[in-house]
Structure 1
């Protein structure tokens, strides 16, 4: 619509322009000072970035809380982290955190009869509000910006009537509930996977796992990792080799947690720059070097190949006759310990995983038939997790689309 005071999509029965209002006129500060007692126990909270919600930091005795100026928060309060607000660290206090405490590093707000706090929570997710949070903050380092509350309260937003606010909030709450449910299901699936990894692979110092499929007995055998998988280094190329089309180069960004995926910003190089074998279906892509050490060692089974592609110079490729068993083995406690010990990095250095170090590792492996069983089990579990992840991302995109069209 032509008027910037009217959203693109509206519910039936609403036609009036949205009003441009000053934030300070729509929100009320809330302050409940706490007289802290050393032996009493208090629950502290923090606000997650990107509108991720309010979460507990744990329970502490008053004597353990260093900042003595604390305030009580209640269910339904709106909480803003003054030092993280530019990163979207704000949200509504849930029921289970009622009675928790925060320091004066947080701003606590209520709505008014003209602004539902639930509606304001939706406004806070809009790019326009992120911009306002940034403009009302000062400092040099993005991680250390300080929120200028007074300036922020002078800024303006567009709001509809309270009845339209409630209608919009009710509609988007259905999507929020679906997102929360899918997130919970995804978390349970990931926890279930971790539980199986702990029980279906031998613990340190042992040669048999706690849980096995029926019909399999006997000790697992010690083998070098190079005996169960062949490792290849990736392609090193020059900037002049990059082409708009050609051969796709797989990088760390192609591993999304435990899932392989192609990206719209993947790099392509000229065919004559490729001097290594292309990757094959069911090869395992491994990050061998990265500026963030915590990303080194992440891996995923490659699938869905439709064109030629190779792995890049900061990657390794593992080929195995039982790729899904090897991939699961690389999610077990052995691999995590190996990464912690062997991956160098830190203090600005690039974390690095050596091909030789990985090849020389001693691991436990069962016979081929049991490897197949274990590999297929974790393959199906990973596919289920990936499906739930895609559904969750689709819901988030749906919500994002509505936020763009249902607000001014």
Structure 2
């Protein structure tokens, strides 16, 4: 739909572009790419391929699935024909562009790899031959990963919440910027070079992290791979080290998860107050506090992200904490992911949210 510069409450659309009489569709169909390149309908270089096949009982068929958020076309399973309920299926070929009618709104589309040439799909998948004289398939994939493109696929879908299907005619009416083939090739090459650079930098970061862990363990005299114990039929432990009559806990009594170290190990309870009481008496119910839900603690760096604000009146049912506290998740899988952080700069010095162990050191 064309935007008017002279009318505040009116939009205009050219009749040749009037693919649907729905006002919502026409408003949502504005893919906001810049005008550096001409906009061309996808239907001009994609041709639907409907190579039907009737499933026989004895052969084994390769089926595929398409991951959402542009995760690519991947194998689903190999099934004997007798175990396939829908006997009318469609054969796909490598190099085709394919999308899921149900999950196109979630970015389920991509190029069929050579390894899946000859696989089968149901009518809920749309496969297209690509006019490679007009568009580089990888350029098409890059365009389809943009938020604008995914949002438009959402507007092209209708049906119940979990079973919305994209309307093919509307999908083929999407117009995307189409530079020359040489320019497309250059853009794809530049993108691939950037992604290669990013992967190399990520490998450098991983290497630094590993070296840092090794350096810390060596400084503490801790085994690099702690926790290994030989099988024993009888194990003895000091009575003073028994905290409960649980056999698993007795077997671990007195042992550090870090293995042997040149330094004496102490219990965490000897070094910190576990879940100490946080005094909020000086605050009114309307006073602001920091709100820290589980997802706002970084798995990687132990940082508090996305500084959210709550009120004292909302703290019921949550763990409360204050500046200087270390919070640590005790709910799986957050605990295994290492969600923990040292808190500072809390609003009014207080916060609430993350349900977990709260050592105050």
TM-score (norm 1): 0.55
The runs of 5 or more residues in structure 1 that have no matched partner are 1-5, 9-15, 190-197, 217-222, 288-292, 322-408
| CA distance in structure 1 between the partners assigned to 2:201 and 2:90 by the alignment | 33
Counterparts in 2 of 1:276 and 1:164: CA distance versus 1, 3 Å: closer
Whose Rg is larger? 2
| Relative contact order, higher structure (CA 8 A, sep 6+) | 1
What is the correspondence of 1:58-73 to structure 2 with a 5 Å cutoff?
58-73=77-92
Counterparts in 2 of 1:37 and 1:17: CA distance versus 1, 3 Å: same
* Alignment-derived partner of residue 157 in structure 2: 137
* Alignment-derived partner of residue 145 in structure 2: 125
* Alignment-derived partner of residue 328 in structure 2: 284
| CA distance in structure 1 between the partners assigned to 2:124 and 2:180 by the alignment | 32
- SS across alignment from 1:79: strand
| Shift of residue 63, structure 1, vs aligned partner | 2.3
Match of 2:309 among 267, 272, 287: 267
Match of 2:40 among 17, 21, 40: 21
Question: Could you give the per-residue CA deviations for residues 10-53 of structure 1, whole angstroms, max 9, x where no partner exists?
Answer: xxxxxx95222222112122233334333333332211111122
Question: Could you give the per-residue CA deviations for residues 225-246 of structure 1, whole angstroms, max 9, x where no partner exists?
Answer: 9999834688999996364xxx
Contact 1:18 1:160 in 2 (8 A): yes
Contact 2:299 2:337 in 1 (8 A): yes
| Shift of residue 318, structure 1, vs aligned partner | 3.6
- Does 2:215 match 1:173? no
Contact 2:320 2:352 in 1 (8 A): no
- SS across alignment from 1:76: coil
Counterparts in 2 of 1:77 and 1:306: CA distance versus 1, 3 Å: same
Contact 1:233 1:316 in 2 (8 A): no
| Shift of residue 300, structure 1, vs aligned partner | 1.3
| CA distance in structure 1 between the partners assigned to 2:279 and 2:116 by the alignment | 51
| CA distance in structure 1 between the partners assigned to 2:91 and 2:189 by the alignment | 28
* Alignment-derived partner of residue 102 in structure 1: 121
Point out the structure with the larger helix share.
Answer: 1
| Shift of residue 254, structure 1, vs aligned partner | 1.6
- Does 2:339 match 1:300? yes
Counterparts in 2 of 1:70 and 1:201: CA distance versus 1, 3 Å: farther
Contact 2:43 2:173 in 1 (8 A): yes
C-alpha RMSD over aligned residues: 5.0
- SS across alignment from 1:241: coil
Counterparts in 2 of 1:257 and 1:126: CA distance versus 1, 3 Å: same
Match of 1:147 among 166, 171, 178: 166
Contact 2:327 2:356 in 1 (8 A): no
| CA distance in structure 2 between the partners assigned to 1:314 and 1:261 by the alignment | 13
| CA distance in structure 2 between the partners assigned to 1:205 and 1:186 by the alignment | 41
| CA distance in structure 1 between the partners assigned to 2:52 and 2:68 by the alignment | 25
* Alignment-derived partner of residue 250 in structure 1: 292
Moved more, 81-90 or 295-304: 295-304
TM-score (norm 2): 0.61
| Shift of residue 302, structure 1, vs aligned partner | 1.0
* Alignment-derived partner of residue 241 in structure 1: 286
* Alignment-derived partner of residue 312 in structure 1: 352
| CA distance in structure 2 between the partners assigned to 1:250 and 1:69 by the alignment | 52
